[in-house]
């Protein structure tokens, strides 16, 4: 959103509002205003004190003295001594300093649709589909979908198959140099890969898996970023390790889910079998049993093991959303990855609302949002590929 209103223009508007705009700056501001009707509308509405105070709702929530100091610093503005005017300048500071809020607030008002428009626009945002990018050791990059029936030379003497099951590597053991492939699943995508040992990995949107085209004779290592569900083939002679962020997960033939999306925590949920988890630079291994969640706090470096209902954590693999008293912020983060959209909250307090529901992952986004709106009373609007959450 901010790309339409760069900081220089915002500063010119700041200077205009405090009456400190030079002749040259005035010409540049007038040129920008006349370039597009949306520029003129934004300028007029920012200059309307009542609209700004009502629609942005930030005058009372911003430290006005601090904000005013930043305006002085950025705009090289000289303070006036008129007390009444100074109060207005500080109001301008409170409104203009959060640059994103100004542009986003305008963006919201421009995109509040009527009921008919809302349904049409939201429905146009399609759910994700099976698609991925395969990166080979020789730097080749191949876009793949499950509709393709193709074979790729993924390394010297090794050909993998791409079909309705996803990428499938031939079963074999590497005897020479280990070569790696990377399967990258973009936002709005999902994909499945069967590794050379028979292990199946389901990758969620915005995820990446680095793996050898054939495992060696001693151990099996893969590297995950994002979210993946693993069904690991048993092989007592070759332990299987998932390296995710700062964690090393040792697998003893099992089914489990690893999620590194959250900036604060890495979540590992065990469905079947047994796994041991340890930090990369630690000898302490935590055992996780079926029906347990291992929650690793990145900042604190702590591990917490909890008994949980595993279904909400792995429902995505079965093409479902299961939200169990999740915050709206967490839910919208999930939807943004699958539907490949950006999300903007009109007020931060909306992020803390909670919702419980069981919904189809391949539903139109309008059905998902209508269900959430019916329970939480929030409203949704859309502009392009941005969903706006409003009171």
Indicate if the pLDDT at residue 270 is higher than 80. yes
Closest C-alpha to 272, from 294, 292, 287: 292
Cβ proximity of 367 and 122 under 8 Å: no
Summarised one tens digit per residue, pLDDT across range 357-370 is 889 999 888 889 98
- Residue found by looking up tokens 């020479």 in the block: 176
pLDDT of residue 45: 66
Band (155; pLDDT cuts 50, 70, 90): confident
Tokens 């079947």 locate to 272
Gyration radius of the chain over CA positions? 26
Judged against a pLDDT cut of 50, whether residue 113 lies above it is answered with no
Read off the pLDDT of residues 56-83 as tens digits, 9 standing for 90 and up. 333 333 344 444 454 444 444 444 444 4
Least confident of 23-37, 276-290, 296-310, 349-363: 23-37
Find where tokens 């050791």 sit. 137
Mean pLDDT of 117-143: 79
Kindly report, residue by residue over 210-264, the tens digit of the pLDDT. 999 999 988 999 999 999 999 999 988 899 999 998 899 999 879 999 999 988 8
CA 247 to chain centre: 21
Q: pLDDT over 90 for what percent of the chain?
A: 46
> What pLDDT score does 122 carry?
53
Residues 6+ apart with CB under 8 A from 3: none
What rounded mean pLDDT belongs to the chain?
A: 79
Judge whether 45 and 68 are in contact, CB under 8 Å.
Answer: no
pLDDT value of residue 295: 94
Q: What is the mean pLDDT of residues 92-101?
A: 40
CA 198, CA 265: separation in Å to the nearest integer? 29
> If DSSP codes are grouped into helix, strand and coil, which group holds residue 307?
strand
Are 12 and 21 within 8 A, CB to CB?
yes
Task: Measure CA 176 to chain center.
Answer: 39
The 3-state DSSP class for residue 284 equals coil
Of 218, 143, 136, nearest in space to 169 by CA: 136
């Amino acid at each position: 959103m901010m790309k339409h209103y760069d900081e220089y223009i915002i500063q010119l508007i700041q200077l205009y509002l405090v009456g400190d705009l030079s002749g040259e700056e005035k010409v540049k501001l007038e040129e920008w205003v006349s370039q597009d009707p949306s520029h003129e509308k934004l300028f007029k509405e920012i200059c309307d004190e009542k609209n700004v105070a009502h629609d942005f709702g930030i005058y009372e929530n911003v430290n006005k003295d601090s904000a005013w100091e930043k305006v002085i610093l950025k705009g090289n503005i000289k303070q006036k001594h008129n007390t009444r005017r100074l109060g207005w300048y500080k109001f301008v500071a409170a409104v203009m300093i959060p640059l994103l809020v100004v542009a986003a607030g305008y963006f919201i008002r421009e995109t509040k649709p009527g009921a008919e428009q809302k349904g049409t626009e939201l429905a146009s945002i399609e759910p994700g589909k099976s698609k991925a990018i395969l990166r080979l050791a020789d730097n080749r990059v191949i876009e793949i979908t499950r509709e393709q029936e193709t074979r790729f030379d993924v390394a010297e003497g090794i050909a993998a198959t791409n079909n309705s099951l996803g990428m499938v590597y031939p079963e074999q053991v590497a005897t020479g140099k280990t070569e790696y492939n990377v399967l990258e699943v973009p936002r709005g995508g999902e994909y499945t890969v069967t590794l050379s040992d028979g292990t199946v990995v389901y990758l969620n949107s915005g995820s990446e898996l680095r793996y050898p085209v054939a495992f060696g004779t001693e151990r099996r290592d893969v590297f995950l970023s994002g979210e993946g569900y693993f069904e690991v083939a048993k092989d007592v002679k070759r332990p299987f390790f998932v390296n995710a962020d700062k964690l090393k997960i040792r697998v003893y033939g099992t089914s489990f889910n690893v999620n590194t999306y959250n900036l604060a925590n890495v979540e590992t949920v065990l469905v079947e079998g047994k796994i041991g988890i340890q930090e990369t630079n630690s000898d302490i291994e935590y055992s996780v049993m079926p029906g347990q969640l291992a929650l690793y706090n990145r900042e604190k470096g702590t591990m917490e093991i909890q008994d949980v209902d595993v279904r909400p954590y792995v429902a995505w693999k079965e093409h479902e959303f299961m939200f169990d008293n999740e915050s709206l912020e967490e839910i919208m983060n999930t939807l943004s990855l699958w539907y490949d959209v950006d999300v903007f909250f009109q007020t931060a307090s909306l992020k803390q609302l909670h919702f419980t529901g069981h919904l189809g992952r391949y539903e139109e986004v309008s059905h998902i949002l209508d269900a959430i709106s019916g329970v939480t009373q929030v409203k949704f609007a859309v502009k392009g590929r941005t969903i706006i959450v409003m009171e």
